[in-house]
Every structure is written in structure tokens, then in C-alpha cells.
């Protein structure tokens, strides 16, 4: 429980923990943020341990085909049965909004999580992929440089913690795409961008425990959010002269701008001039960076764990990567790694970022097909484990089969199906429908480049495997899934790649 220092608060003249909501969010009066719509469906109680995974499993047995609700910040979340997913997944944002649901659940008012303008999602969906195609030689070189730097050249087995290194891997690649030289090499910039992401997400469970009235005070005093605000200001200070110089250079008709996210934001914001504003630029970089760091680093770590705990997959995947030879790791060639893509999709299926997916906030009242009335402001979603395991069309969905999707893609007419970035009614790790995670294409490319390079250059296995553990994501906090960062791995440099 957060203890508030009221004396310190009274002496502070700059108390302001709220971020500015995205411009496309509807304006709310101050008291509306405390409104908690109620939905008339059964309530599933959470046990005294606060185990939401157990509650969802119990609820499925009680209400396999009916909506129910759980108590969870910011009030209630209605869990919709899988057979109704088509009613939800493609509903327009004006009716059901993923971003506004996420903003509420992740306390975006204070953390800044999902506090991005609509244009940022478009940049992630289209602009960043174009950047990958333009700078892939630098990405593959940076990936190898980061791997060698983080894992070293030891020919004997050594113990490492791979979760923080996974974050460093992704940051090393992403920084080139986001801001380019020279800022991407500035350790102060890198520290600030990582801290803004990690500490924002880390503060969410603490804020869940606070009362509506005292939450702004708690957000002001939480060390994690103090860090977010300080690092954001530092990032702004570092970005300002770089942006000013870029804008001055663009006045020269002979200047050829570098390929980076900053330029994409400038070009996309020409109409209204937003891309020339340092706060708009910083929000775009942080928003894009959060998507990349959170999604890609979690996926990298989960994939490496699943490989190390199932070593029979390592050699086939290593051989597939070796068959590419010296071919550049652009999107076309990475797309040839069908075994790795299959393993990645299965790892996603086995793990998850959240217990509840395809989360939406009702922007206007409506009724589900069974007549359940959903009032404006209600939050709803789907039990991802139920969809993946109990309602799956896959053969033996409760077994890990790393190459199942490669076999499915080998069937006539299915060559472009079952890819790791594709969502489905029984594959909800990235959400589903028109509002699915726009950063998944960039994240999947980064992860495959990294895992392929690691397998070619290193042997990997678990240190002290824990009996009975089937996934590294076996802990939850509310509906948030948590990896175990303390899991140690054994790594050694392969002699044939020395």
C-alpha cells in the first residue's frame, strides 16, 4: 500500500501526474473517470490468493458459452464466450475501442501506456515495416553485434540471465530504426527510453491498489513513475537539438534525409506540422518503443526458454538458419524460416502477454447476440487460454508441437496461412480483428533475426530446470502475465563459429 507524504506534497509546486489523453479520445468531465458501468451477468469471485488464472478456468466450466464478469481494475471486465468473437473483433473503434480499454486498464492517465495518437499505430503498421526493408543490413549487423556483446565468446558453459539481455537485444536493433545515428549510440538516451517503458508497466499493479481519489497522489510519489517523468524529460532534452538540426537540414533541397522513425513522423505529420513538434516526436518514439520493447523482448525471452526446455528443436532450427547462408536478413529471406516461424507461433500460443485478450471498451451501449446489454463505458474481452486450448481447431491443442504450423502451411492452398503474425479465433496473443497489435510485424521480424543468430553462434540450455514448469509465463498479476526473470540459462559460444 502506498504511503503518501502529505507534508512533502504540500511543499511541491509542480504536482501533476496526469498525461494528456490522445486527441481522438472523447472529452470526459472530471467525475466521469470514476463511473463504473455494471453489466448484468454472473460475477466470478476471485480466490483469496488473487489468482485470476484459476478464476477463469473455473468460470469456463460454469459458463462455457455465456458471458460472465470478473472484478478487475478499473471496475469489471466482461468475459465474452469464444463463439461471439466475430461480433467484437471487427467492430469499429467508434463502437468498441482497444486503445481506450488498454488506456483504462494500464492507468494510461498516469503511466502514459497506450497514450499515443492514432497516427502512431499507423506508423507501426506501415512505416516501421518500410524502415526494416530500408535498413535491414544495419539491423542484422546490429543484432549480431548485440548478441556477441551480451553473450561473449566463452567456449565453456556459463550461467546468464537472459531476460535483461533480451531487452538489450531488442533495444540495440530498435534504436537504429527509431532515431538513427548519432542519438541511438547515446547510452543516456537508451537508458531513458528503456526506463520509460519498463517503469511505466511496472507501476501498473501498484496503481491498481490505490483508490480513485488518492491515485494522483500515489502516482506522484511512486518511485517508478517519478523515474518515468524524469527519464522522459531527459529524453526530450536529448531529442530537441537532434530534431532542430534535422528540421534545419530539411530546408536544404539537396539534403537527403536518413531512414529513421523521426523522418517518418515528420513526413506523416506534414499536413498539420505535428512531426516538427518535439513532444509529438517523443510520444511517437516512446509509443513505438513501448510496443517494440514490451512485445519483442517478452517474445524473445519466451522463445529462448521454450527452445532451451525443448532441445530437440534446436538443431532443425539451426540448420534452417544455416541454409540461408550469407543471404541478407530482409523480410523476404526471414520469411523463408518457416520452421522458426512455426515454433514462434507455437511459443506464442503456449505463452501469452495477458490472460484476457481482444479487450475493448464500449464507446456506446449495445447488446450482444444473446441479448446481454453492454452499457457505454463497459470493458470486455476474451479468455485467451479458453480460446487457445478449449476452443481450438488444432489437433492436440494441449500439447506443445513446435512444427505444427509448418506442416499446416505445407498443405495445398495454405502456404500463406498460420504465420506467427496472423491472428485467429484461437490465436489471440496479439489480439484479433482490425485493432490487433500493429507492432507485431516489427516484433516478429526482430525476434526471428535474433533467435536465428543466437542458434548459429551459441549453444543454449536451461540451468536447473524446474520440474513441472511448462512455460516461463507461469505467474500472473491480475490479468497481466509475468515471466520469471530469475530463470538462469547456460550459454557457450559454438566453436565452429569462432
Q: Are strands 158-161 and 488-493 parallel, antiparallel or unpaired?
A: antiparallel
> CB-based burial of residue 471 (10 Å sphere; 0-12 exposed, 13-18 middle, 19+ buried)?
middle
Longest dimension (CA), the chain: 71
As a whole number, mean pLDDT of residues 151-161 equals 95
pLDDT category, 129, cuts 50, 70, 90? Answer: low
Q: Is the peptide bond before 4 cis (omega within 30 degrees of 0)?
A: no
pTM: 0.89
Reported as a pLDDT band with limits 50, 70 and 90, residue 253 is very high
Q: Is the dihedral of CA 305, 308, 309, 313 positive or negative?
A: positive
Asked if 463 contacts 490 with a C-beta cutoff of 8 angstroms, the reply is yes
Query: Could you tell me which residues come within 8 angstroms of residue 170 by beta carbon, excluding any fewer than 6 positions away?
Result: 292, 293, 296, 297, 300, 446, 450
Task: Please check whether residue 291 is in contact with residue 129, taking contact to mean a CB–CB distance below 8 angstroms.
Answer: no
Lowest mean pLDDT segment, chosen from 126-135, 137-146, 323-332: 126-135
What per-residue confidence (pLDDT) applies to 1? Answer: 45
Q: pLDDT digits over 268-320, tens only?
A: 777 778 889 999 889 888 887 777 677 888 999 999 999 999 999 999 999 99
- Closest listed residue to residue 138, CA positions, set 184, 106, 97: 184
* CA-closest candidate to residue 179, choices 165, 168, 169, 193: 193
Q: Is the pLDDT of residue 10 over 50?
A: no
Look up residue 41 and give its three cell numbers.
Answer: 451477468
Using alpha carbons only, how large is the chain's radius of gyration in Å?
A: 23
Confidence (pLDDT) at 15:
45
Mean pLDDT for the stretch of residues 436-461:
90
End-to-end CA distance of the chain: 52
Model pLDDT, residue 173: 82
Matching residue, cell 507485431 = 440
The C-alpha atoms of residue 254 and residue 260 are separated, in whole angstroms, by 18
Q: Which domains does the chain have, with CATH numbers?
A: 6-497 (1.10.630.10)
DSSP letter for 106, please. T
Which of 8-12, 379-383, 391-395 holds the top average pLDDT? 379-383
Indicate the helix (H) or strand (E) that contains 69: strand 68-72
Query: Cell numbers 490487433 correspond to what residue?
Result: 436
Q: Render pLDDT for 452-489 as a digit per residue (tens, 0 to 9).
A: 999 999 999 999 888 877 788 888 999 999 889 999 99
Grid coordinates belonging to 388: 487457445
pLDDT of residue 31: 62
- The answer on pLDDT for 17 being more than 80 is no
**Three-state secondary structure call for residue 93:** coil
pLDDT tens digits, 365-379 = 999 999 999 999 999
Q: CA torsion 117→123→126→127, rounded to 10°?
A: 170
Query: CA–CA separation, 203 vs 225, rounded Å?
Result: 7
Spatial CB neighbours of 183, under 8 Å, sequence gap ≥ 6: 189, 238, 239, 242
Amino acid at each position: 500500500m502506498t504511503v503518501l507524504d502529505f507534508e512533502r506534497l504540500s511543499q511541491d509546486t509542480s504536482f501533476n501526474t496526469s498525461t494528456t489523453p490522445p486527441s481522438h479520445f472523447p472529452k470526459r468531465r472530471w467525475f466521469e473517470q470514476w463511473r463504473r458501468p455494471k453489466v448484468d451477468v454472473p460475477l466470478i469471485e476471485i480466490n483469496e490468493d488473487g489468482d485470476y488464472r484459476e478464476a477463469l478456468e473455473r468460470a469456463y466450466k460454469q459458463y462455457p458459452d455465456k458471458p460472465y464478469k470478473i472484478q478487475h481494475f478499473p471496475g469489471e471486465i466482461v468475459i465474452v464466450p469464444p463463439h461471439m468473437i466475430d461480433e467484437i473483433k471487427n467492430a469499429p473503434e467508434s463502437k468498441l475501442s482497444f486503445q481506450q480499454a488498454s488506456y483504462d486498464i494500464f492507468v494510461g492517465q498516469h503511466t502514459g501506456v497506450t497514450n499515443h495518437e492514432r497516427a502512431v499505430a499507423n506508423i507501426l503498421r506501415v512505416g516501421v515495416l518500410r524502415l526494416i526493408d530500408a535498413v535491414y543490413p544495419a539491423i542484422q549487423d546490429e543484432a549480431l553485434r548485440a548478441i556477441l556483446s551480451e553473450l561473449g565468446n566463452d567456449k565453456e558453459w556459463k550461467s546468464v540471465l537472459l531476460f535483461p539481455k533480451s531487452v538489450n537485444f531488442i533495444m540495440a536493433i530498435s534504436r537504429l530504426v527509431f532515431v538513427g545515428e548519432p542519438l541511438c549510440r547515446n547510452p543516456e538516451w537508451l537508458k531513458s527510453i528503456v526506463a520509460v517503458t519498463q517503469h511505466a508497466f511496472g507501476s501498473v499493479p501498484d496503481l491498481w491498489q490505490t483508490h480513485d481519489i488518492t491515485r494522483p497522489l500515489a502516482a506522484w510519489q511512486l518511485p517508478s513513475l517519478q523515474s518515468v517523468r524524469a527519464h522522459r524529460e531527459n529524453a526530450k532534452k536529448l531529442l530537441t537539438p537532434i530534431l532542430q538540426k534535422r528540421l534545419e537540414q530539411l530546408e536544404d533541397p539537396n539534403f537527403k534525409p536518413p531512414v529513421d522513425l523521426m523522418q517518418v513522423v515528420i513526413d506523416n505529420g506534414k499536413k498539420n506540422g505535428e512531426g516538427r513538434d518535439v513532444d509529438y516526436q517523443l510520444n511517437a518514439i516512446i509509443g513505438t518503443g513501448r510496443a517494440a520493447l514490451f512485445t519483442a523482448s517478452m517474445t524473445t525471452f519466451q522463445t529462448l526458454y521454450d527452445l532451451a526446455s525443448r532441445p530437440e528443436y534446436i538443431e532443425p532450427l539451426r540448420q534452417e538458419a544455416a541454409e540461408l547462408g550469407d543471404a541478407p536478413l530482409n523480410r523476404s529471406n526471414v520469411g523463408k524460416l518457416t520452421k522458426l516461424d512455426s515454433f514462434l507461433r507455437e511459443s506464442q500460443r503456449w505463452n501469452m502477454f495477458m490472460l484476457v485478450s481482444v479487450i475493448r471498451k464500449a464507446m456506446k451501449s449495445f447488446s450482444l447476440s444473446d441479448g446481454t446489454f453492454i452499457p457505454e463505458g463497459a470493458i470486455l474481452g476474451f479468455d485467451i487460454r479458453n480460446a487457445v486450448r478449449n476452443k481450438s481447431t488444432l489437433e492436440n491443442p494441449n500439447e506443445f508441437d513446435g512444427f505444427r504450423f509448418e506442416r499446416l502451411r505445407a498443405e495445398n492452398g495454405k502456404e500463406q496461412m498460420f504465420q506467427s503474425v496472423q491472428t485467429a479465433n484461437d490465436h489471440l496473443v496479439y489480439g484479433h480483428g482490425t485493432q490487433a497489435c500493429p507492432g507485431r510485424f516489427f516484433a516478429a521480424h526482430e525476434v526471428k533475426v535474433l533467435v536465428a543468430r543466437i542458434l548459429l553462434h551459441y549453444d543454449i540450455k536451461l540451468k536447473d530446470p524446474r520440474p513441472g514448469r511448462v512455460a516461463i509465463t507461469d505467474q500472473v498479476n491480475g490479468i497481466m502475465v509475468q515471466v520469471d526473470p530469475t530463470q538462469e540459462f547456460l550459454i557457450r559460444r559454438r566453436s565452429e563459429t569462432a
